[in-house]
Structure 1
């Protein structure tokens, strides 16, 4: 089943839309993750407030994104601009989303602005400490440096902008630096269709040491988008 291809959110670049801790908690089934004794990497974390909120709750989270080479003021202005742009487009595509977690577009916008504000406050204090400038598909992290790695609304979602090689190289890099499990959400692209790259990755002979499992979650904003991909290295 797919969404209406002629009426979906039209985005030709990766946008800065932040998610809050509660969204991450449900997207990635974090109820099974302990706090202080688990090292978590947030990949392409953008202006999400997960890192800020999670660390305040006792988790050990590092955020990573290429935008972290910019000043807080620059990121904030870009974040505000992206929220405004996307919210203007939402009414015409609202039927492609489930309005349960968010009751309406105003509630969605308020959450995105709240995430941006919480992120910026934390980023000002912890830039270059727990917010690290990383340009995927590669990083300077150590082998098995993190217990859990989370990828939210980046891989698969932007499959028309990020090609298969980028996806493959990124997952290989994450498998190297992650000790236990990589979790990617959602598995659909911007058209609401399951990404074609998932089956390719699962059958790629160069990734045969990785175990792929599709897991349902209790977060579903994009219709058909309530699954995450869990990846483990079977050689560890």
Structure 2
């Protein structure tokens, strides 16, 4: 399957030169929960793109189930050892913050922060192993929103977890509009974004304006109930489709 418009971004994309958000990821089990996915029915035999994937093991696990999955992140293209260093630094910082602010957590899929950390570090280890073997095969692409190096409608399903809306101090309204439009562009079905909240679980304050602007640009958006396995206030996902 040929999806790429250009291969230039694999090694020279400007996003690969900075590290602006934590390099943090999750496993397929969590993706299934907050994207309302049935792995067997929704992934097997389909093409799926994970955007701003970080060290998530979703792509490796989905491919093992018979899904044709691709992951995108601005840090891809660096060595597995370099990415392992980012994991070591960022996971230590993220879990230190969670322990310092217990009000930000709720325990559903995990019994404790310690269990969440252990399982997410295991997911990162699976990612690093798969990345080291399959980056050269095009499974992991160095690129970033709001411009992705894929053709229109290249994927059956596009996912973006814990990136948009989570860093609203760094990315303005125009960026969110462009990013959502791009996610919809590369999907021939749905693009799903989770969560629809900013830091601390607070709702994204410009969501209504965002949906209005996307509609004007030919992208339909709707909120669907969702869930997060650890963080509070993350109980919805935004589903995007190019308008017919």
TM-score, length of structure 2 as denominator length: 0.86
Give SS of 1:55's match: helix
| 1:181-226 per-position Cα deviation (integer Å, ceiling 9, x unaligned) | 0100011111211112321211116645222111112434221211
Are the equivalent residues in 1 in contact too, given 2:198–2:204 (CA < 8 A)?
Answer: yes
SS in 2 for 1:214: strand
Contact 2:45 2:68 in 1 (8 A): yes
Determine helix, strand or coil for the equivalent of 1:135: coil
Q: 2:5 maps to which residue?
A: none
The answer on 1:26 being equivalent to 2:33 is yes
| Structure 1 residue 229 corresponds to structure 2 residue 238 | yes
Per the TM alignment, residue 131 of structure 1 is displaced from its structure 2 partner at its CA by: 0.3
Aligned equivalents of 1:13, 1:196: Cα separation in 2: 22
Of residues 152, 162, 165 in structure 2, which corresponds to 1:153? 162
Q: State the 1:30 CA deviation.
A: 1.0
Q: CA deviation at 1:173?
A: 1.6
Q: 2:79 aligns with which of 68, 71, 75?
A: 71
What secondary structure, in the 3-state scheme, does the structure 1 residue paired with 2:75 have? helix
Per the alignment, residue 187 of structure 2 pairs with 178
> For the Cα contact (< 8 Å) 1:80–1:113, is it kept in 2?
no
1:209 maps onto 2:205 in alignment: no
Q: CA RMSD in A?
A: 1.7
Q: Once the two structures are superposed, what CA deviation does each residue of 1:102-157 show, in whole Å capped at 9, x if it has no partner?
A: 11111111012111100000000110411011122102201110111000000011
The question of whether the paired residues in 1 share the 8 Å contact of 2:215 and 2:221 is answered with no
Match of 1:188 in 2: 197
In terms of mean alpha carbon deviation, does 33-42 or 54-63 score higher?
A: 33-42
Q: Which residue of 1 aligns with 2:10?
A: none
Provide the residue aligned with 2:51 in structure 1.
43
With structure 1 as the length reference, what TM-score do the two structures score? Answer: 0.89
**In structure 2, what is the Cα distance between the partners aligned to 1:70 and 1:63?**
14
C-alpha spacing 1:208/1:136, structure 2 compared with 1 (3 Å) = closer
| 2:70 aligned counterpart, secondary structure | strand
Task: Give 2:114's aligned residue.
Answer: 106
Unmatched tracts of structure 1, length 5 or more? 1-11
Deviates more, 1:200-209 or 1:14-23: 200-209
Q: 3-state DSSP class of the match of 2:107?
A: coil
How many Å apart are 1:227 and its aligned residue? Answer: 0.8
1:14 aligns with 2:21: yes
**For 2:23, what is the secondary structure of its paired residue?**
coil
Q: How many residues align?
A: 224
